[in-house]
Amino acid sequence: MKLIFHIGAPKTATTSLQITLRGMMAALNREGVAYEPTRDFQQGPVGRIVRRDQGGFFDRFKKPSQQAYVESRAAGMQQFLISDEGCTGFLMYPTVKRSWKRMLPRAFVLSDFFTAYPDYRVVLTVRRQDSFLASCYAHRIEHGRVDCTFEDYWKHEIDINGMDWLTLVEGLVARHGRERVVVLPYEPIRNDFRSYVMTFIEHALAIPRERFDDVSFETRVANKSLSGPAMAVAKVVAERMGEKGANPRDIHHVLLGLKSVLPIGEYGPFRPPMDELRAELTRRYAASNRTIAERYMPVPAGDFLFA
């Protein structure tokens, strides 16, 4: 039985993907795929027992994942899918205080855990750097942290130099071999979430999407900051409410109120200027993004490239 380990890089709707896959469990089982998100390992009964005795991310799901793997193989499953919750345990936001490059080795160590299985594949989902940073900022605002403008955020708090997906991809390839590593782009979720899920199934699990034509599921994004106008609203809220001396909690409530009445995707005149950020990231990462898209992605990258 092949083990498929999915690493959802930060802000790539991994939680939403997991919610959808959980709802498709019967259809996946029909195709010989057993699926459990790591949250089930970490927060389930077995995970709680393991946490009492051992610490660390690995130990929170190592034993229960091995148990589930053995049980699934005995049940005749052909693939066992593990999807990690956004890599928050080892791929943190690329802040100056917590360097992206310093965190990368932890991702490599995590993937090494699965080399003990006879047959496995590592699947990585990544997104374009500018939209990634905008989403990080929206997430920050959504949690009430309105202490700087978007421009100050990416210029002074972000470690731009270390934010290179190619470093992670090539590190995984060096450890596991090109044939075991699959890289998928996040961007298509903006247009069609079902297509995003089907692309994952087709390339991560190597199952034709046509086999799921009769499967219906709710197409929703769990993290509202990925789908709504949070990024745009955040800027105007930070500027206008900040002038009045409002505290972060007040701003947070105003933001939620604005989000509840603004149509999804309608930015109006409040969209933060992205030109300078896009130009800087293009200068640094257009070449590496092109390498990822052309060498490692099995599907067209669309607007993953800057140029």
Q: Name which residue leads in pLDDT, 138 or 90.
A: 138
Domain layout of the chain by residue ranges: 2-304
Give the integer Cα–Cα distance in Å for 273 and 263. 20
Tens-digit pLDDT profile for residues 236-288 = 555 665 565 666 666 666 666 555 544 444 444 445 567 888 888 888 888 88
219 phi and psi angles, rounded to 5 deg: -95, 90
Q: Is 189 helix (H, G, I), strand (E, B) or coil?
A: helix
Structure tokens given for 73: 């193989």
Most confident by average pLDDT, 52-66, 139-153, 189-203, 261-275: 189-203
Tens-digit pLDDT profile for residues 159-177 = 777 677 888 888 889 888 9
Give the integer Cα–Cα distance in Å for 221 and 16. 5
Q: Please state which CATH class domain 2-304 belongs to.
A: alpha beta
What is the mean predicted confidence (pLDDT) over 36-55?
49
Within 10 angstroms of residue 177's Cβ, the number of other Cβ atoms is 10
